[in-house]
Chain A
Amino acid sequence: MVEALIFYMFAFVLIASAVMVVVSRNPVHSVLFLVMAFFNTAGLFVLLGAEFIAMMLVIVYVGAVAVLFLFVVMMLEIGKVSMKEGMVTYLPVGLFVGLVLLAELVFVYLGWEMAEGAADRRLFPTPDASEVANTHALGQIIYTHNVYLFQISGLILLVAMIGAIVLSLRTRPGVRKQDIADQLDRRREDAVELHKVESGAGIK
């Protein structure tokens, strides 16, 4: 009973904050609600017994991705008015897309059927949760059985990262940069010159 109560608490706060992300008029508040939504999702994962995924969600999404969001949103001075403007024009389109996605999910869920005996013939069956801790189970699946697929997805991400850097990198002329090696190379003889100034003559 208490488990169910805790589940409904997480679920309710999750949905409420997800709604607030969209409805909130201040973009910074939106991001903070997004963080709350992530956090409650992690709570749901813990309830499911998937503690590793829960922690990863908090570390990756809350600790890194949402911080960058918050950073960008804080720096941009989006007025409250401009956030409100698109509402009327975009609302029908958004609702339509959302409905299509929901319908697709429902169709998939209703039409999902597994061939007879397919579960027994899996190459790498899901490890039994009562025997292996779920971190070890994930490790076995990702790093032992499917290591090549994992490496390929890593490579794809690497290519995407390099692509993003190449596309956004522009060299600007005339930017002064600190060259540490150059600074350390500097000796007194290169920088200071001693002149004997004749007294009374001034600077010529």
Chain B
Amino acid sequence: MAEFFSEYMLPVLWIAAKIMMIVLPLLGAVAYLTYAERKVLAAMQLRQGPMMVGPFGLLQPLADGLKLFSKEMIFPQQSSKIVFVLAPMLTFTLSLVAWAVIPFDEGLVLADINVGILYLFAISSLGVYGILMAGWASNSRYAFLGGLRSAAQMVSYEVSIGFVIVSVMLVTGSMNLSEIVLAERVWWVDLLLFPMFVIFVISILAETNRAPFDLPEGESELVGGYNVEYSAMTFALFFLGEYANMILMSAIAVILFLGGWLPPFGIEFAWLSWVPGIVWFGLKTASVLFIFLWARATLPRYRYDQLMRLGWKVFLPFTLVWLVVIAGALLAGDALPVM
């Protein structure tokens, strides 16, 4: 029994503690991302944003959370109850489990698995189920239309995201996220990857159903999309899941293209070396997140057929061709990663 305790129980407890150390700051980040979104939108539209709760409205996210906790959950009569409750739980859980493989600093990662990037891709491709299930289980026309739209959109943009990831794997020769960050890159390879970075950022906007691709919840036509029928905590879970996914996708962009926890642009000043890697990682993630908010404040919503056209007829052919270009350049420049 003692052996069982020391061999299994202690590691399990230790892992659980590490999970809490990731999840709790993440939830805090989600709460303050909603605050940042409202403040940034307000600044761009010459308003003030949340001001009343606490200094500069800093306690607003907590007040919103408390409000959602205390509200009543409503189940539509004709809904499929189990699926209806499962859908937000699934969305929220999926947005958390992906963080298991994200390296915050050198060696600071919960599970340093060999196929980390595939794991992330697999988890993000599951996200569509939460939305489809919500749309179907609500048994409402608006929710159903929102769910279908969202599913089609996420599946289409996953294809080009896949090719972007393949090109990064080609350049770094690894599927382990820490190795991808640490891989030595020649400057012209980085230059070749830049168009892929642009496509990746646009695709993650579509993948997380954010403006200007927020058709699944287009208020003006679908009321609220797949989450029309949800209230209180079930709605809050969708909301948290969406924002956690935004942070996750920004973190992936940072790891694949912006050098993870390393200082930006390879700067090596002595007075900067004490800055821990996790700070750089956080700052880089925040700057990608700013693009999300910036796009929401400035761009009008796409039309649905334009969105599909962009995914299948522009991004997919371009990434396919560019992948071949990168592979050819690596071969010609003798820069292919060696095993």
Contact = CB atoms under 8 A, between A and B. Distances in A.
B119 A63 contact: no
Given A62-B126, A63-B158, A64-B155, A74 B118 contact: no
Interface string A53-83: 0011011001110010011001100000000
A118 to B, nearest CB: 29
Contact of B115 (A28, A52, A63, A70): A52
Contact of B132 (A1, A29, A55, A67): A67
A67 B151 contact: yes
B158 A55 contact: no
Give the bracket for the number of chain A residues in contact with chain B.
20 to 34
A154 to B, nearest CB: 15
A199 to B, nearest CB: 40
- Secondary structure at the A interface, as helix, strand, loop or mixed, is helix
A2 interface: yes
Contact of A59 (B4, B121, B132): B121
Nearest to A71: B151
B114 to A, nearest CB: 5
Specify which of B122, B126, B132, B151 lies most central, judged by the most chain A CB atoms within 10 Å of its CB.
B122
A133 B116 CA distance: 13
A92 to B, nearest CB: 32
Contacts of A141: none
Specify which of A35, A71, A136 lies most central, judged by the most chain B CB atoms within 10 Å of its CB.
A71
A35 B129 contact: yes
Contacts of A56: 118
B132 A52 contact: no
A63 to B, nearest CB: 3
Interface in B1-56: 4, 8
A28 B144 CA distance: 13
A183 to B, nearest CB: 12
B92 interface: no
Contacts of B133: 32
B339 interface: yes
B94 to A, nearest CB: 11
Contacts of A29: 83
B128 interface: yes
A135 interface: yes
A89 interface: no
A55 B121 CA distance: 9
B113 interface: yes
B305 interface: yes
B113 A51 contact: yes
A171 interface: no
A178 interface: yes
Contacts of A63: 122, 125-126, 128, 158
A19 to B, nearest CB: 18
Contacts of B175: 135
A106 to B, nearest CB: 34
Given A64-B125, A136-B339, A59 B8 contact: no
Q: Which 10 A-B pairs have the closest CB atoms?
A: A63-B125, A55-B118, A58-B122, A59-B122, A51-B115, A55-B122, A55-B115, A74-B136, A133-B114, A2-B8
11 contacts: A55-B122, A58-B126, A63-B125, A63-B126, A63-B158, A67-B128, A67-B129, A67-B132, A71-B132, A74-B144, A135-B115
Given A26-B80, A133-B114, 17 more contacts: A2-B8, A28-B80, A28-B136, A55-B121, A55-B122, A58-B122, A58-B126, A59-B121, A59-B122, A64-B155, A67-B129, A67-B132, A71-B151, A74-B136, A75-B148, A135-B175, A136-B339
